[in-house]
Amino acid sequence: MIRASVLFIGSLAAILMSFVALSVFPSVQLMEIEPTEGRIDYNFAESQGRQVYMREGCIYCHTQQVRPDGFGTDIQRGWGTRGSEPGDYVYDFPHLLGTMRTGPDLADIGQRQPSRDWHLAHFYNPRSVSPGSLMPSFPYLFEVKDEAEVLASDVTVTVSEEFAPDEGVIVAKEDVLNLYAYLMTLKQDPTN
């Protein structure tokens, strides 16, 4: 080739086409989509919890998308009752669909595992409730207090002796409580 202009115009035209088709078109197509019945925007604690989910990089091991029946075994595993649909995500920016399942899918975790005690123990040390798990512990989302200093409003966490600190009580910080609140919004049927 001799003319640089052909190169530049051609290259730009090529990428412009796929940009319009794969980035702009889906946005336009999904602009008017109705949210799944019962799905409402995140409240303050939930959106703060979503920030914690983003900050700690949960997406690198957990997806939030249930594969439809006949494609994978998500539904047999009890990860949901139907394939995920665009209406499940209308309030999501950034999207947190994820690409990796070192851990299980979380699109329906609020339905599957609603227990706050379980989740807090799991965040404090995943192996305390899920032996052999590779998930990191998040001790910095908790503080260990003397029994005398625990307030009535504190949320305490119980783990078995093997995982508990030598002395003191494990108290959940606000971040992890918000994270729990966010996880509880992850339901395929929010009316449930």
Partner 1 sequence: MATIASETVQDNQARLPEGWREEVDASVRWPVTAFIASGAFWLVIGSVLALIASFKFNHPEWLVEQGWLTFGRVRPAHLQTMIFGWISMAGFGVLTWLWARLLKTDMRLGWLQLVSVAVWNLAMVVGTIAILAGFSRSIEWVEFPLFVYVIIIGCIGIGAFPLFEMLRRRRVRHLYVSIWYIGAALLWGPFLLITFSLPIYEGVAHATANWWFAHNILGLWITPVGLAAAYYFIPKVIGRPIYSYHLSILGFWTLALFYNWAGVHHLVGGPAPQWAVTISIVFSVMMVIPVVVVALNHHMTAFGSLKAVLRSPTLRFIVFGAMSYTAVSLHGSFMSLRFWQELTHFTHHTIGHAHLGVYAFATMVMFGSIYYIMPRLMQWEWRSSGLINLHFWTTALGIGTYVVALTIAGVLQGLTLMDPGASFMESQFITEPWLYARSIGGTLMTVGHLVFGYLLYSIILKKGPQLDGPTYFAPVLRSETSSADSAA
Query: Hey, which residues between 90 and 129 contact partner 1 (CB under 8 A)?
Result: 90-97, 99-104, 126-127
List the x/- string, 4-23, binding to partner 1 by CB under 8 A: x--xx-xxx-xx-xxx-xxx
State the Cα–Cα distance between residues 177 and 158, nearest whole angstrom: 15
Closer to partner 1 at the Cβ: 114 or 136?
Answer: 136
Q: Restricting to residues 153-182, which ones interact with partner 1 according to CB under 8 A?
A: none
* Residue owning tokens 């979503």: 50
- Residue span binding partner 1 (CB under 8 A) among the ranges 40-48, 54-62, 146-154, 177-185: 54-62
Please answer whether residues 67 and 107 qualify as being in contact, where contact means their C-beta atoms are separated by less than 8 angstroms.
no
Between 18 and 191, whose beta carbon lies closer to partner 1?
18
- Coil, strand, or helix at residue 4? helix
26 lines the binding site for partner 1 (CB under 8 A) = yes
112 φψ region: left (φ > 0), alpha (ψ -120 to 50), beta (else):
alpha
Q: Does 44 bind partner 1 (CB under 8 A)?
A: no
Which of 85, 117, 149, 174: binder of partner 1 (CB under 8 A)? 85
Judged by CB under 8 A, the stretch of 79-87, 110-118, 148-156, 181-189 that binds partner 1 is 79-87
Residue 37 as a binder of partner 1 (CB under 8 A): the answer is: no
Nearest alpha-carbon partner for 170 in 192, 185, 155, 182 = 155
Q: What are phi and psi of 156, to 5 degrees?
A: -100, 160
Give the residue among 31, 101, 96 at the shortest CA–CA distance from 64. Answer: 96
- Which of 23/153 has CB closer to partner 1? 23
